[in-house]
Amino acid sequence: MTFDLDMIKKVYERYPVRVAAARAAVGKPLTLSEKILYTHLWEGNASQAYERGNSYVDFAPDRVAMQDATAQMALLQFMQAGKSKVAVPSTAHADHLIQARVGAEADLQEGINKNSEVFNFLSSVCDKYGIGFWKPGAGIIHQVVLENYAFPGGMMIGTDSHTVNAGGLGMVAIGVGGADAVDVMAGMAWELKMPKLIGVKLTGKLNGWTSAKDVILKVAGILTVKGGTGCIVEYFGEGAQNLSATGKGTICNMGAEIGATTSTFGYDDSMRRYLAATGRQDVVDAADAIAEHLTGDAEVYANPEQYFDQVIEINLDELAPHLNGPFTPDLATPVSEFRAKAEANGWPLDVEWALIGSCTNSSYEDLSRAASIVEDAVAKGVKPKAILGINPGSEQVKFTAERDGFLDSFRKFQSARIFTNACGPCIGQWDREGSEKGEKNSIIHSFNRNFAKRADGNPNTHAFVASPEMVAAVAISGRLDFNPITDTLTNQNGEQIKLDEPKGLELPERGFAVDDNGYQAPSEDGSSVQVAVSPTSDRLQLLEPFEPWDGQNITGAKVLIKAFGKCTTDHISMAGPWLKYRGHLDNISNNMLIGAVNAYNMETNKVKNELTGEYGEVPAVARAYKAAGVPTIVVGDQNYGEGSSREHAAMEPRHLGVRAVLVKSFARIHETNLKKQGMLGLTFVNPEEYDKIREDDTVNFLDLDQFAPSHPLQLEFVHSDGTKDLILVNHTYNEQQIGWFKAGSALNLIAEEARNNA
Q: Rule CB under 6 A: say whether 74 interacts with ligand SF4.
A: no
**Sign (positive or negative) of CA dihedral 600, 603, 604, 606:** negative
Question: CA distances (Å), 547 to each of 343, 550, 668, in order?
Answer: 54, 9, 25
Q: Rule CB under 6 A: say whether 427 interacts with ligand SF4.
A: yes
Active-site entry in 4, 160, 366, 376:
160
Task: Tell me which of ligand MIC, ligand SF4, none is bound by residue 70, counting a contact when its beta carbon lies within the kind-specific cut-off of 5 to 8 angstroms.
Answer: ligand MIC
Q: Which of residues 78-97 bind ligand SF4 (CB under 6 A)?
A: 96
Q: For the chain, give percent helix, strand, coil, nearest 5.
A: 40, 20, 40
62 annotated active-site: no
Q: Phi/psi at 503 (nearest 5 deg)? A: -125, 145
Min dist. Cβ of residue 424 to ligand SF4 (A): 8
Return d(Cα 97, Cα 731) in angstroms, integer.
Answer: 36
Q: Which stretch, 19-27, 445-453, 482-490, 706-714, contacts ligand SF4 (CB under 6 A)? A: 445-453
Task: Tell me which of ligand SF4, ligand MIC, none is bound by residue 646, counting a contact when its beta carbon lies within the kind-specific cut-off of 5 to 8 angstroms.
Answer: ligand MIC
646 annotated active-site: yes
Q: How many residues bind ligand SF4 (CB under 6 A)?
A: 13
Q: Which of residues 108-147 bind ligand SF4 (CB under 6 A)?
A: 140-141
- With CB under 6 A as the contact rule, the residue among 34, 107, 127, 160 that binds ligand MIC is 160
668 annotated active-site: no
Q: Rule CB under 6 A: say whether 453 interacts with ligand SF4.
A: no
160 annotated active-site: yes
Q: Rule CB under 6 A: say whether 646 interacts with ligand MIC.
A: yes
96 annotated active-site: yes
DSSP at 70 = H
Active-site entry in 394, 477, 644, 745:
644
Q: Rule CB under 6 A: say whether 160 interacts with ligand SF4.
A: yes
Return d(Cα 83, Cα 187) in angstroms, integer.
Answer: 9
Q: Which of residues 197-236 bind ligand MIC (CB under 6 A)?
A: none
Q: 656: buried, middle or exposed (CB in 10 Å: 19+, 13-18, 0-12)?
A: buried
Return d(Cα 454, Cα 435) in angstroms, integer.
Answer: 12
Nearer CB in complex with ligand MIC: 170/175: 175
Q: Rule CB under 6 A: say whether 427 interacts with ligand MIC.
A: yes
Question: CA distances (Å), 163 to each of 143, 248, 263, 584, in order?
Answer: 10, 13, 10, 24
Q: Rule CB under 6 A: say whether 499 interacts with ligand SF4.
A: no
Return d(Cα 19, Cα 195) in angstroms, integer.
Answer: 18
Nearer CB in complex with ligand MIC: 162/417: 162
Active-site entry in 18, 93, 96, 479:
96
Amino acid at 478: G
Nearer CB in complex with ligand SF4: 192/426: 426
Return d(Cα 171, Cα 165) in angstroms, integer.
Answer: 9
449 annotated active-site: yes
Min dist. Cβ of residue 216 to ligand MIC (A): 15
Q: Rule CB under 6 A: say whether 673 interacts with ligand MIC.
A: no
Q: Residue 47 in contact with residue 58, Cβ under 8 Å? A: no
Element (H, E) at 254: none
Q: Rule CB under 6 A: say whether 46 interacts with ligand SF4.
A: no
- SS3 of 280-328: the string is CHHHHHHHHCCHHHHCCCHHHHHCHHHCCCEEEEEECCCCCCEEECCCC
Terminal Cα-to-Cα distance of the chain (whole angstroms): 38
Question: CA distances (Å), 203 to each of 55, 206, 316, in order?
Answer: 33, 10, 6
In 139-291, which residue ranges form alpha helices assigned H by DSSP? 141-148, 178-185, 212-223, 238-241, 245-253, 269-277, 281-288
- With CB under 6 A as the contact rule, the residue among 31, 70, 328, 665 that binds ligand MIC is 70
Q: Which residues on adjacent β-strands are paired with residue 598?
A: 563, 603
Nearer CB in complex with ligand MIC: 224/358: 358
Nearer CB in complex with ligand SF4: 304/643: 643
Min dist. Cβ of residue 338 to ligand MIC (A): 25
Min dist. Cβ of residue 578 to ligand MIC (A): 10
Min dist. Cβ of residue 69 to ligand MIC (A): 4
Nearer CB in complex with ligand MIC: 107/160: 160
- With CB under 6 A as the contact rule, the residue among 36, 125, 373, 426 that binds ligand SF4 is 426
Q: 175: buried, middle or exposed (CB in 10 Å: 19+, 13-18, 0-12)?
A: buried
Residues that bind ligand SF4 (CB under 6 A): 96, 140-141, 160, 162, 358-359, 423, 426-427, 447-449
**Residues taking part in catalysis:** 95-96, 160, 449, 644, 646
